[in-house]
Chains A and B, each alone.
Chain A
């Protein structure tokens, strides 16, 4: 199974700051990676697909990069509605696997 390791597991940041979340795959996954945002009591919401493509309707302050084993989700100019938990997920092979999540908290 491909392990997806996210770091940090939590981060405290202020509105307007830049936040970077990393996701490392235990083996190469090309660009078969997605990023999701989840708020308490809600289903995950797709932010980024194919590692670097912004899903329709998602604000441009979100961006994704990387390929192979190392990936990054960046939020440039954190907004109050961005405080949530973020997950990466690989889809190059079964079982599909998710990272452990990164909780973005208010500083």
Chain B
């Protein structure tokens, strides 16, 4: 079945780094743009980053620009989020999700984030 599975979350101290992974199955990963979205009780749902199907385009929220790096390995059907200089306010559940923007086909309408992972929790605390 179509699935995204995140991993790599944990409890980390402020200023440290972490790498999250998102493993895809059941669809042609290399055709899809994939997002990272996070959710915390304080900020609700917050879009973090998008990487295009081929990795050639990357977009970031201002709150993470310069600290987070999104990448993908299409040969492994896996997406990554490298998080540096972690802050307390980065504490959240991190989801990966796919939609149809910046996929291999031009999006003529927005088809929504139709597949989400189960989320991985990042807690930043000293």
User: A residues bordering B, Cβ < 8 Å?
Assistant: 31-34, 36, 42-46, 48-50, 55, 87, 89, 91-92, 94-98, 100-101
Contact check, A95 vs B113: say whether CB atoms are below 8 A apart.
Answer: no
- Write the B113-125 contact mask toward A (1 if CB under 8 angstroms, else 0): 1101111000000
Residues of B contacting A46 with CB < 8 Å?
112-114
What's the Cα separation between A95 and B35 when bound, in Å?
Answer: 11
Residues of B contacting A101 with CB < 8 Å?
44-45
User: B residues bordering A, Cβ < 8 Å?
Assistant: 35, 44-47, 50, 59, 61-62, 95, 97, 99, 101, 109-114, 116-119
Q: 9 tightest A-B contacts by CB?
A: A34-B112, A49-B112, A43-B116, A96-B47, A98-B45, A50-B109, A32-B110, A46-B112, A91-B110
What's the Cα separation between A36 and B110 when bound, in Å?
Answer: 13
The answer, among B44, B50, B112, for a CB contact under 8 Å with A55, is B112
Contact check, B119 vs A95: say whether CB atoms are below 8 A apart.
Answer: no
Cβ distance B51 to chain A, nearest Cβ, rounded Å: 13
What's the Cα separation between A84 and B46 when bound, in Å?
Answer: 18
- Scoring A32, A94, A96, A100 by chain B CB atoms within 10 A of each residue's CB, the highest score goes to A96
Contact check, A95 vs B61: say whether CB atoms are below 8 A apart.
Answer: yes
- Scoring A34, A87, A92, A101 by chain B CB atoms within 10 A of each residue's CB, the highest score goes to A34
Contact check, B118 vs A43: say whether CB atoms are below 8 A apart.
Answer: yes
* Contacts A96-B35, A98-B46 given; does A34 touch B113 at CB 8 Å: yes
* Contacts A49-B110, A49-B111, A96-B47 given; does A44 touch B116 at CB 8 Å: yes
The answer, among B59, B110, B118, for a CB contact under 8 Å with A50, is B110
Cβ distance A100 to chain B, nearest Cβ, rounded Å: 6
Contact check, A87 vs B45: say whether CB atoms are below 8 A apart.
Answer: yes
